[in-house]
Amino acid sequence: MTMSEQQARELIQSLGSMSRTLKAIGRNKENSIATSRVYTLRQLQTDDLRVSELAHRLCVDTSVTTRIVQSLETDGLVTRTADPADRRASLISITEAGRRALARRDDWAVARTRELFADWSDEDAATATAIVARLQVAIQDFDQSAPTVEPANH
């Protein structure tokens, strides 16, 4: 059965509202690490990556990723080394300080989530998690099947 147009509109509104709420929840001065920096550090937890691969994984332009990496490097959270496969390219690696900053942010996020959802059971949280996972799969499937739009020539 297909979702009605009205329900689709309500879902869009709800997801937009949730996105704004999550951004507001994520703001905190004690663990002030921007979401873009958190996502970047997460990608580097298991792999050293070139900026181009990091940009691809983050779904942002390389120039945006370069600015994030420069900021993280200035703060000592990542390092840049020559790529042994191509000395002209650099590999970005998370530092121990970066791992500690990410762990502090994660600990804070878990504590904040438990506080915000104190009246939720594990079952409630599992149901919400399953729905969010289903949303992610649907969005990924749509994104992969969406036609590529060529930019207009100006």
Reported as a single tens digit per residue, the pLDDT across 33-47 is: 788 899 999 999 999
> DSSP character for 77?
S
Cβ distance 47 to 104 under 8 Å?
Answer: no
Reported as a single tens digit per residue, the pLDDT across 46-69 is: 999 999 999 998 889 999 999 999
Burial of 72 per CB tally in 10 Å (0-12, 13-18, 19+): buried
Write down all domains in the chain, each with its CATH number in brackets: 7-144 (1.10.10.10)
**pTM score:** 0.74
Average pLDDT along the chain: 86
